[in-house]
Each structure stands twice: as C-alpha cells, then as structure tokens.
Structure 1
C-alpha cells in the first residue's frame, strides 16, 4: 500500500542527509513542502532510495530543495533521473540568441531572411513543377485517369467567367494608351502613329501581361484558397488514404485549364484593347475605323501575334503552379489560407513580370522587333 511522502534527517560525520520515504506524487505529498521549508542548516544529500513513486510535482519539489541547499540527489531509477532532468530543463530553458539591435543590422537581417525564403520558395516551386510533370506523364500513359469533367469545369471558371472583366480592363487600357500617345505625338504632328503604338504595344506586351495579372488575381488566388481549405479540412489526406493522387485530381486539371485558356484570353484581351484604342482614335483624332484597321494590318507584324501566343501558356504555367503550390503548403490554422493566397498572387505576378522581361530581351535578340 502506498504511504504518504515523508523524510527523516540523518546526521553522519558533520554531513546532513534527508532520507525520503513513501509516495512523492501529488496525491500523497500533503504538507511535505511546508516541512521541507522548515529544515534548517545545510543539507549535503537527498536520499531517494526508499521512495515508492515520484511524479512531476515530487520531482519539482526535490529539485527546488536541492537547488536551494546545493545538495546532491541519489537513489533514483533511470526513468526517474530522466524526469528530474526534464524538470530542471523546464526551469532553466536555453536562452535564444539575442538579435543584434539597431536599424542597419535589422534591415540587413530582414533582407537576408527574405533572400533565404525566396530561395527556398523557388526550390519548392521547381520540385512542384517536377511533381506536376510526373502526374501529367502518368495521366498521359493512363488516359482513363484523366479527370475530363474537372478540367472542363476549370475551363469555364478560368476562361468564360473572366471574359467580362478582362474585356473591360483591356478596352479601358486601349483607350488610355491611345489617349496618352495622341497627346504626346500631337506635339510633333504625328498623331497617325498612335495606331502603331496601340497595335504593337497591345498585341506584343500589354494584352498578354495584363491578362496574366488578372488571371493570377482571379484564378491563382482561388486555387490557393481552395487547396488550402482542403488541406486544413484534411480532404487531401483523405484522398491519399483512398489511393487518389492530389496532383492528378486537383493540380493537373487546374494547370491544364490555365495553360490552354491563357492564349485565348491573351488574344481576346489584345483584340479588345485594339478596339478601345481604335474607338478613341475615331472620336479624338477623326481616324475612321476602316483607316485604323488598314493601318493596323500594315504596321503590326505577324511576329507580334506569335510572341503573344508563345508567352501566354508559359505565364499560365507559372500562375497555376504558384497558386496550387501555395495552397498545398497551408498548415496550422485558417490564417494560413489568407497568407498563402496573398503570397500566391504576389509570387505569380512577380514571376510573370520577370519572365516577360526575359522574353523581351530574347525576342529582340533573335530579331523579332
């Protein structure tokens, strides 16, 4: 039968030992803490050979008394020694390294952290791209695993429902380009070259770029939020449990939809932008629509259309990968969904602009000017 915790004082050769007996657990400690506080004089050793059991409360009591009296502890089993070590470590945690104060070191530290985070994210994106390609190969070699209905549904969400907002944005951008170009060219009596400006910059650059930014804001954020929510509710884990690959069922349909719809949306955006510019030329510069169309055909080379159609699917891959990758990284709580969604949009837009600059240099280098 377990007895209450107790101790006796043993004096031997000028050294004082406290010999504990009974059960050193919360239910049996009783008034032991008060009696230990009443112990006078130095104590050299705490003997725990005769105790029946010790829990965290008892270990803390023994540790505190030993610390105050600089006493040694003997008689514990290996498990009990480990418990005492854990109690000691909890009382004296390792202090984290202090960060260097001051504005300049702090800014440099934040820049360093941002560079490390960017490198880790880029590495993760490359790995995610590899996983997507593997999923695409698996579906290509086993066509029955292709989720046709899910892909068609994404076509509607990414493409059809975006026609209105992309068309309005492109129309207004075309008007702005034509208006600003006409104001500047009027100083040199060269308003007719407003058509060149509208046609080339809209078809070659702004049509596909603004479409990519809009798709990243609409579809990229939706992908991150959807997959992040599914990750939190453990739907993705459940899919893996029943043998369904999330890459094939969730990521691949979204990626295919964005890649195939981006060229169509970019061409549509460029066309609407040219129409907006032509309308302003007709109203402000008295350039008839027939003259505008004839001039567009003369000054806009076919290479501008090819550049638009080449860049569009590449931008689509970036947008889909950024959205799905960030969504799959969600863990912890619902706040992560919002954080990852924002990161997906910013990441996609940044990478699209960087790639657009690379494409501009590349196409100029091969003579597509």
Structure 2
C-alpha cells in the first residue's frame, strides 16, 4: 500500500539578487503533500519576481499537478509554456506536465451563457424547431418512398415473402388488440349515446340519438379510436423492437449478410398493420354501435329492432365506406413512423426510450391531422 506521508524534501523557493535582477531557484518536491507550505512561499515570492528573472529548476524534485499549478501561478503560464527552451535539462515527463498545465491555464475563460430569454433567443429557438420539423418530415417522406419501392420489388416475387413474420406481427398487432379496441369503442359508443340522448331530449328529438351514434362511429370514431390505440400500442412496439436491434448492432449484421433491413423488418410490420387496422376498425364500428344500442334500449326505450331499423333506413352505406377507406392510410402512416423511429435509435437505452415516445406522438398527430384533412375533403365533395 503506498505511503501517504509527506516526502523528506519539501519544496523550497530561494530568491537571490544578481546584478539588479532576481535569480529564482526552485528545489525540493512540489507535490500536494506540501501544498500549504508552497502556497505561502509562492505568495511571498510573487511580488519581487519580474518577467526577466532567471529561473533555475535543476534541483526540482518530485512534481505533480498541484505543484505545477503553483509554478505556473508564480512564473506565468506563457513563460512556463516555453520551459523546454530555458530549462532543457528537465526530464521529459516533467516538461510535458509543466507544458500541459501552462497550456490549460493560458486558455481564456469560457463565456457563460446569458440568463433569460430575449426576442433573439426566442426566434432562434423557433427557427431550430421548424428546421428540425422540416428535416423530420423529409426523412419520413424518404422512408415512405423506400418502403414503397421495396414493396413493389418484393410483391411480384412470392419466394421473398416473409409469411411467418407477417403472421406473427398480424397476431401481435391485430388479434391481440381486439379486446381493448372492442371495450374502448363500446364504452365510447355508450357515452356518445348518453350525451346525445341528454341534449336531444330537450328538443324532443331523442330518437335521433341513433343517427348521431351511427354517423359518429361509421365515419369517424370507429377508425379514429382504433388508429390511436394502434399508434400507442403497435407503433411504440415497432420502434422499441427495431431500436433495440439497432442498439445491439443487429441491423448491421443483417446488412453484412446481404439482406435488406427494410424487406426483412419493415414490410412484414407494414403489411400486418394494413390488414389489422381495417379489421379493427370494423370491430370498433360494431362495438360502438352496440354501446349506443344498449344505452338507447335502457334509457330511451328504443328497442334493438327499432335501433337497427333506423340505422338501416337513415345511415347510407357511403358513411361506412368513408370510415373504412381511411383505415389503410392511417395504418401505413403509423407503421412507417414506428419503423423509422426505430432505425433512428442510437446506441443507448435512453435513445430507445426517446424514439419510442416520439413514434407514439408523431403517429397520433399524423392520424388526427390526416383525419381532419379527410373530413374537410369529404365534406367538400359531399360524400
């Protein structure tokens, strides 16, 4: 075990006047063990020491960073950085240590960031956010193009289809999500029917609650709720799975084997989502209508037969087709965003979490944005 006792020859400073100049002789060990004594000696010797003083380091003993810092304070960082010229007899390790400490002390202090937010800072922050959003959208469009290109190349070649992977992802994405989608849409259908009955009862039009539930779930709520649930459930799973593979360099191993990560990892997930979301949308529509049926039967005395008759008479098939037609678009966007965020993961667990969260936020945002655009388009077209 190394000894922690001070060395036997503590450092000293000797100032000797020589023909009007001052001759400084440094001797002994300049180490942390003698720091207090050396600090006092440096403070006493600093006043008479001039820039043209001669310095003798030939008797210098042990030296560490603390002692080198004191010598730099006494001699000056700029002069100590040239120690190899006026003290060439020192060992190479002493010269390197003194030069490094002098160079570190000679650097100007870093400017501290300004406190507070000014108008320029706010505009710069907005500019960076817009630039990041633009870069993100370009990456998404490029990845969509790459996915469609790979899909066009793979579909005419059945021997390259990943049927087993497609079936596994279809089960995880679609079949396992049926209970939660059915329960959620049933409850939302019941809530919509209850609110509609409460409001329409004031106008004596409680029977139109059936029309409200039918329009809401066939056109909007069925596909929207299913898409949001899959955005939080499957997009995050895609990002986490591919991100973990990226962090463990499994993606690089796939490329090394001559395989395409997009064909191997992205296409099965995208195709599974394209099949699962329309099916879940249909389930959500049925369960939402069932929730409205239960509320109408219990609170409005509308029998199930009358409920179904009103739906058949007043709700056109076009509303069902509009709602179901949006499902493949939402499915493709959700799957592509989840896979893209997985490929953007770095090499840390924190990066996996950040991009998984980003995939959910982006997917839900894009689903709501596309749904709003589709609603305005269909309204203008009269569909």
Counterpart of 1:197 in structure 2 is 212
8 Å CA contact 1:203, 1:305 repeated in 2:
yes
Equivalent pairs counted in the alignment come to 345
Report what 1:125 is aligned to. 140
The residue aligned with 1:308 is 323
Corresponding residue number in structure 2 for 1:68: 77
Shifted more, 120-129 versus 308-317: the winner is 120-129
Scaled by the length of structure 1, the TM-score of the pair is 0.78
SS in structure 2 at match of 1:193 = helix
Q: Which residue of 2 aligns with 1:172?
A: 187
Q: Is the 8 A contact 2:72 2:101 kept in 1?
A: no
Partner of 2:303: 288
Seen in structure 2, the aligned counterparts of structure 1 residues 265 and 161 have a Cα distance that, compared at 3 Å, is same
1:235 corresponds to 2:276:
no
Q: CA deviation at 1:145?
A: 2.1
Aligned-pair Cα RMSD in Å: 4.0
Match of 1:226 among 215, 230, 241: 241
Change (3 A) 1:250 1:87: farther
Q: Which has the higher mean CA deviation after the structures are superposed, 204-213 or 329-338?
A: 329-338
Q: Structure 1 stretch 331-340 or stretch 94-103: which is displaced more?
A: 94-103
- Cα distance in 2 for residues equivalent to 1:160 and 1:90: 66
Contact residue 132 and residue 247 of structure 1 kept, 8 A: yes
- Give the drift of 1:68: 3.3
Report if the CA contact (8 A) 2:78-2:102 is conserved: no
State the partner residue of 1:162.
Answer: 177
1:251 aligns with: 266
Q: After alignment, is 109-118 or 257-266 more displaced?
A: 109-118
Distance 1:284 1:236 in 2: 57
Cα distance change on mapping 1:70 and 1:91 into 2, 3 Å: closer
Contact 2:197 2:206 in 1 (8 A): yes
How far residue 116 of structure 1 moved from its aligned partner, in angstroms, is 2.9
Give me the TM-score of the superposition, normalised by structure 2.
0.75
Following the alignment from structure 1 to structure 2, what is the Cα–Cα distance between the partners of residues 199 and 69?
A: 83
What is the alpha-carbon distance in structure 1 between the residues aligned to residue 102 and residue 173 of structure 2?
Answer: 57
Q: What are structure 1's unaligned runs of at least 5 residues? A: 1-13, 19-29, 47-56
> Quick check: 1:116 aligned with 2:131?
yes
CA distance in structure 1 between the partners assigned to 2:169 and 2:363 by the alignment: 18
Cα 1:166–1:62 shift into 2, 3 Å: same
Q: 1:347 maps to which residue?
A: 362
- How do residues 1-369 of structure 1 correspond to structure 2 at under 5 angstroms? 42=50, 67-68=76-77, 70=79, 73=82, 88=103, 92=107, 95=110, 98-99=113-114, 101-102=116-117, 110-368=125-383
Rg bigger for which structure? 2
**How far did residue 95 of structure 1 move?**
3.3
